Amino acid sequence: MTLHVVVPQESEALPFTVEPGGAQVASKEVPERIHRILDGLLDGGAVLAPPGADDTVRAERLAGAVHGKELLEHLRHGVPQGADSVLDDAFAAPGLEQETPVTRGVWPAALGAAAAAVRAALLTARRGEPAYALVRPPGHHAGPGWYGGYCFLNNAVIAARTLQEEGASRVGILDVDYHLGNGTHACVQGDPTLAFASVHSSRPDDFPYAFEPGPGLFGAGSDPGPQGFLALVGDAVSYLRGQDVEALVVSVGYDVLAGDPHGSWSLAPEVFGPVAALVTEQRLPTVFVQEGGYGLPSLRGAARALALEASR
């Protein structure tokens, strides 16, 4: 098997986020993340795949099916004339204040990431081999009518919809990011053709802070350690298999690792080897989509461990 990696054109770093109370802090969603992850994937046997000619058109169409018109217009044209950015609570997730600004470069960057997710899904559907959409900005906090948490368009759901258009009737989305993919959860709720399972921190002081437990949500209230984490991933995979899914999208978050500035767990990069093994053992068409992971020193090793297993 060959793991194919799709990387969109590099975009600028998100300049800042806003903490409760209004203080601006430098964003950790920076291009260096992708450089380090790509090095690890290639070192683990993955190969780069070129973009497709019509990916952007298809991504924009699917974004319109996943997200509301008002949100998309805000991402395209929401920055007022003479301003560099806008922060609008009207497009915050329910119960949250908006902390992620929209800048003039957000729309092309978000659409480029969605197009890479489309290309990765097409490669998997048509070649029968795994693909990895190495994208930024991430997407799993982007809901039907909101953005936040560095996320603007939901790349994982767009990848899942692409797999469906290519013939998969039921697609499962497995989210192994430190934070619950509240946007993905909302985007698939009520749709019997898309199943969602998430392994995440359920501490009340971790974004998105408050959410109701439910089927497919495997939260850890404290550091689960490597064995506990892998047990939760196994439970999530079993849940998705119980939904009779025919293909998988895996939202990959390296912020579960020790030292991540947006996490609190102690996992080593090598844990992503057995995570990938649990996925590949299912023998389902699989698309990996990049979400979080902001501890730069750990990214290469984690990506290499994943690629070594996914490329077997």
Cβ atoms 286, 248 nearer than 8 A: yes
Cβ atoms 118, 62 nearer than 8 A: yes
Nearest by Cα to 196 from 255, 152, 251, 253:
251
Q: Is 74 annotated in the active site?
A: no
Residue 178 three-state SS? coil
Q: What are the start-end ranges of the H helices in the chain?
A: 32-43, 55-66, 69-77, 106-127, 155-165, 182-188, 225-241, 272-280, 296-310
User: Per the residue annotation, which of 141, 179, 200, 262 is the catalytic one?
Assistant: 141
**Structure tokens belonging to residue 46:** 């993955």
Nearest by Cα to 222 from 236, 232, 212, 214:
232
Residues belonging to the active site: 141
